Amino acid sequence: MKFLDQAKIYVRSGNGGAGCVSFRREKYIEYGGPDGGDGGRGGDVIIECVDGLNTLIDYRYKQHFKAETGIHGMGKNRTGADGGDVTLKVPVGTQIFEEDNETLIADLTEIGQRVHLLKGGNGGFGNAHFKSSVNQAPRRANPGLEGEEKWIWLRLKLIADAGLVGLPNAGKSTFLAAVSAAKPKIADYPFTTLHPNLGIVQIDGNSFAMADIPGLIEGAHEGTGLGDRFLGHVERTRVLLHLVDGSGQEDPGESYKIIRGELAAYGNGLDEKPEIVALSKCDALTEELIEERSASLEAACGQKPLILSSASGLNVDRALRMVVRAIDHDKQEEANQVPSKEEEGWHP
C-alpha cells in the first residue's frame, strides 16, 4: 500500500428539504385546510478516527464528499426524511486543517474520536406551519437551507513513542529492521527511505512504537533534498534517537550540528525533546577511529555518545533500554503536570 500522509479534499453537507404547500380535500370534512409537511434536514459531514488504517491513501483517488439532501415535505402533514450523513474514516494521528493548510480544526489522536465538521441545512417549513387565526389558508412554504461546503487538508502524523533522526545513510532503517518486525528498504545509497516507517519494539517486557523518517540534509527546511515535511511524524514522540554515521567521510560533530540546525529551523519543539546520540556503523571502524570520532561527536553534542552497530548488535539492547527510560521519565513528568482533583478547586 502506498504511504500517503497528506490530502486535500472537498466536503459539503446536505441541503435541507423544501416545505410543502398542500390542502386537505376529504369527504365529510366541512372545511379543509393546509397540511403541507416540513422538509427533512440535510446530512452532516463527520470525520471519525478508526483502527486499522495507517495512511490517507483512500483520499488519493476520491476528493469530493457530499452528504445527502433532505427529502421534501409532503401532504397530509408528512415530514420529509433527513438526509444521510457522510462519514470520513481516518487513521489515528490525523489533523484537519482549513484550506490555508495552517488553521487547525481538529487533532484526532484516539480511536473513536468524531468531529462534526459541517452541519446539514435545516428543512423548510410547510404551509401547515404558517396557519393562524387570521391566515387559515397560507399558500407559502419555506425552501430548505443550503448546506455548508469547504476544502480541507488532512495531514497524518504518526503516533510513536520514539523517533529516529539523522543524515541519509546513517543506519536508521537498518536499526529499525534489527529491533522490530518492520521491513524498511535498506541499501547503500542515500535517500533509500522515501516515506516514514513505523515499527513496534519490545525489550525487557516493555513495548513501544518507533518511527523512522527519511534522512535530512543541510537546507532541508528550505526544500533541499526531500525537505523537512516528514519531521511532522516525529513531533509526537517522547524521545529522539539521533544516529550519526561513524563510517562516513564527514566529521561526526559536523553531521550532528547539521541535523540539530534542521530540527531548530523546523520548530514545534523538536529541538527541545530528550535526545539519545549514538555513533552508528561502528563495526566498520577500528578502535582508534571509534575513539577519535566519538570524541568529535561528544564535543558537538555535549554528552558521551553510544557506540552502536545494528549489523553486529553492539549496544543495540542498551540503546533500547535508554529509550525506554526516557519514555518512562517523560510519562512521569506528564503525569505530575496533570492537576489532581483536590487542586482543581470546588466541585459538587
Distance CA 301, CA 340 (A): 37
The pLDDT tens digits for 254-276 are 999 999 998 999 888 888 999 99
Beta strands in 246-296 (DSSP E): 275-280
Mean pLDDT computed over 115-123:
96
Distance CA 13, CA 35 (A): 28
Cα 159-178-184 angle, rounded to 5 deg: 60
Residue 80 has pLDDT above 60, yes or no: yes
Mean pLDDT computed over 265-289:
89
Nearest CA to 160 out of 107, 232, 216 is that of: 232
The pLDDT tens digits for 213-266 are 888 888 877 777 677 778 888 888 999 999 999 887 788 999 999 999 989 998
Q: What is the pLDDT of residue 347?
A: 54
- Helices 172-179 and 316-337: crossing angle in degrees, nearest 10, is 90
The full set of domains in the chain, from first to last, is 6-156 (2.70.210.12), 162-337 (3.40.50.300)
Cα 165-170-174 angle, rounded to 5 deg: 90
- Helices 252-266 and 287-301: crossing angle in degrees, nearest 10, is 30
Residue 338 has pLDDT above 70, yes or no: no
Distance CA 219, CA 226 (A): 10
Mean pLDDT computed over 196-225:
85
Contact in structure between 45 and 86 (CB atoms under 8 Å): yes
Distance CA 327, CA 161 (A): 7
For the chain, first and last CA: distance in Å? 52
Residue 4 has pLDDT above 90, yes or no: no
Report residue 239 as a C-alpha cell: 524521545
Q: What is the pLDDT of residue 340?
A: 53
Q: Percent of the chain having pLDDT more than 90? A: 59
Nearest CA to 282 out of 261, 252, 260 is that of: 252
Q: Is the dihedral of CA 49, 51, 57, 62 positive or negative?
A: negative
Going by C-beta distance under 8 Å and a sequence separation of 6 or more, which residues neighbour residue 108? 47, 49, 90, 92, 93, 94, 95, 96, 115
Q: What is the pLDDT of residue 110?
A: 92
**Type and span of the H or E element at 334:** helix 316-337
Report residue 185 as a C-alpha cell: 528498504
Distance CA 66, CA 63 (A): 10
Distance CA 298, CA 253 (A): 8
Residue 10's alpha-carbon distances to 13, 39, 104, 274, in angstroms, are 10, 26, 16, 39
Residue 36 has pLDDT above 90, yes or no: yes
Q: What is the pLDDT of residue 344?
A: 54
Q: What is the pLDDT of residue 1?
A: 47
Distance CA 219, CA 215 (A): 12
pTM as predicted: 0.80
Q: What is the DSSP letter of 276?
A: E
Mean confidence (pLDDT) of the chain:
89
The pLDDT tens digits for 133-147 are 899 899 999 999 999
Residue 342 has pLDDT above 70, yes or no: no
Mean pLDDT computed over 168-182:
90
Q: What is the pLDDT of residue 148?
A: 96
Nearest CA to 266 out of 308, 309, 230 is that of: 230
Distance CA 175, CA 162 (A): 13
Q: What is the pLDDT of residue 339?
A: 60
Q: Which residue reads 555518545 in cell numbers?
A: 305
